[in-house]
């Protein structure tokens, strides 16, 4: 039997197996490429607002500010911070809100910025941790540090993009879906260290 007839016979009997194998190989290659090329952020942060408008300049300011405080967490020689804006007030998309808050529930996002209504929403839903171990100068029943009232914000260029009080809060480690998971604990420690760095930097502002 010629090579061509062997190939045709093989295709006739096993074409579905061959196609399935090719499909799985393509999926594997695409997934591998996605994992390799996906940005490895030092930190993921949410900016949560209720009624306040949300602008690109505000997202950029938080990204730059957190980058100046968190350091090179993953040791890749770069400091990269991902900031996602989340609306929770009237008119916000419930599907998008639920998707974003899943990351808070899971413990993937532990450092949270927000306006008063955004932080209040997180507090009322049991996401936040008291910050009394970090500073006494707190708002929101002790769950929020008012960055707008700090000397640090007044000395940081571009803070005037916020027309409202900007608060910083922490996601409580307890109550996450996977509080025992090593990555959740690592995210929590990075968030705690970054908050400590902000408060320490504020104390040294002249």
What residue segments make up the domains of the chain, in order of their start? Answer: 1-38, 43-203
- pLDDT mean over 17-37: 65
Residue 27 to residue 120: CA distance in whole angstroms: 43
When comparing pLDDT for 43 and 29, which is higher? Answer: 43
pLDDT band of residue 177 (cuts 50, 70, 90) is: confident
When comparing pLDDT for 63 and 20, which is higher? Answer: 63
Q: Which of 92, 1, 87, 105 is nearest to 49 (CA)?
A: 87
Residue 116 to residue 163: CA distance in whole angstroms: 12
Q: Is the pLDDT of residue 1 over 60?
A: no
Residue 67 to residue 77: CA distance in whole angstroms: 13
Residue 49 CB-density burial (10 A; 0-12 exposed, 13-18 middle, 19+ buried): buried
Give the pLDDT score at 89: 82
At the topology level, CATH places domain 43-203 in: D-Maltodextrin-Binding Protein; domain 2 (3.40.190)
The model's pTM: 0.78
How much is the mean pLDDT over the chain? Answer: 85
Give the pLDDT score at 28: 63
35: number of CA atoms within 13 Å, CB side? 6
């Amino acid at each position: 039997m010629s090579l061509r007839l062997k190939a045709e016979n093989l295709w006739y009997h096993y074409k579905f197996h061959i196609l399935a194998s090719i499909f799985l190989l393509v999926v594997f290659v695409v997934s591998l490429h996605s994992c390799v090329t996906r940005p490895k952020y030092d930190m993921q942060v949410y900016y949560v607002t209720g009624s306040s408008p949300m602008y690109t300049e505000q997202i950029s300011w938080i990204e730059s500010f957190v980058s100046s405080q968190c350091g090179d967490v993953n040791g890749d020689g770069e400091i990269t911070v991902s900031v996602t804006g989340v609306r929770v007030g009237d008119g916000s998309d419930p599907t998008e809100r639920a998707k974003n808050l899943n990351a808070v529930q899971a413990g993937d996002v532990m450092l949270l910025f927000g306006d008063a209504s955004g932080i209040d929403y997180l507090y009322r839903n049991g996401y936040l941790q008291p910050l009394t171990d970090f500073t006494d100068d707190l708002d929101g029943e002790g769950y929020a540090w008012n960055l707008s009232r700090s000397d640090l914000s007044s000395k940081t260029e571009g803070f005037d993009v916020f027309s409202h009080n900007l608060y910083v809060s922490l996601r409580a480690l307890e109550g996450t879906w996977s509080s025992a998971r090593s990555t959740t604990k690592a995210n929590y420690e990075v968030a705690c260290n970054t908050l400590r760095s902000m408060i320490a930097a504020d104390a040294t502002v002249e």
